[in-house]
Structure 1
Amino acid sequence: MSMDLPKPIADYVEANARLDIDGMLKPFQHDAVFIDNGKHFEGQAAIRHLLEEEVIPVKAIFTPDTAREEDGDIVVEGPANGEFPGSPLRFTYRFTLVDGTIKTLETTI
């Protein structure tokens, strides 16, 4: 990846490219919140379940092409490719980082 993203975000994106659930979870805080198009998943166990059910089966890989800071968050945009209807779809990922970890990730189409 050629973008200069904060380490926890870069780690998440790189693990997603390998469809590595453990790698995707590693940069999240234990009590992190993942908001997927309005649905809330709190804690690593719930986030793992989301990834196992929604990301891995369809091989959804997010490839960021823009990033900016907005209201203290890092907003990353780009296409997600995979085996799902409409692929590729353009997503916006809004990361809230705390102490070098992901506290909140909100994804929207």
Structure 2
Amino acid sequence: MHLILPKPIADYFAADTKDGAAVAKCFTPDAVVVDERQTHTGRDAIARWKAESSTKYEYTSKPIAVEDNGGKVIVTAHLTGNFPGSPVDLRYAFVLASDTIAHLEIV
């Protein structure tokens, strides 16, 4: 089954295979990302977060489900890689602002 993701979210998953700068461009200037109980605010912090996580782990992610949940778009993605607990299904809770991402929480 092929998922249809909103464009900003599809852009995010495509950029996730690249670098921190590419990922940061998917977000509003003052966006917030919460991952592994850490909060990253603004494009510079988001670019650093992505760059640091890419140096720690190699992984691939494949979105497997999407749902609209009252202003949030919840994407479940299957991740495999060299991180503890691999493989794992993670939930990405996106809040969109037009054609960019304003908030992302990964659990």
TM-score of the superposed pair, with normalisation by structure 1: 0.88
SS for the counterpart of 1:48 is: helix
1:27/1:102 contact within 8 Å kept:
yes
Alignment partner, residue 56 of structure 2? 57
Alignment partner, residue 3 of structure 1? 3
- Quick one: which amino acid aligns to residue 4 of structure 1? I
Q: How many residues align?
A: 107
Q: Please identify which structure carries the higher strand content.
A: 2
C-alpha distance in 2, partners of 1:90/1:97?
22
State the 1:56 CA deviation.
4.3
SS for the counterpart of 1:54 is: helix
Alignment partner, residue 26 of structure 2? 27
Q: 1:66 to 1:24 in 2, by over 3 A?
A: same
1:8/1:101 contact within 8 Å kept:
yes
1:64/1:78 contact within 8 Å kept:
yes
State the 1:39 CA deviation.
1.5
TM-score of the superposed pair, with normalisation by structure 2: 0.89
Where do 5+ consecutive residues of structure 1 fail to align? Answer: none
- Deviations along 1:1-54, one digit per CA (max 9) or x if unpaired, are 9311010100110122x3333322211011100001332110111111111111
Q: Structure 1 stretches (4+) deviating beyond 2 angstroms?
A: 18-23
SS for the counterpart of 1:64 is: strand
Where do 5+ consecutive residues of structure 2 fail to align? Answer: none
- Worse-superposed segment, 80-89 or 63-72: 80-89
C-alpha distance in 2, partners of 1:80/1:39?
19
Alignment partner, residue 71 of structure 1? 70
Alignment partner, residue 36 of structure 1? 35
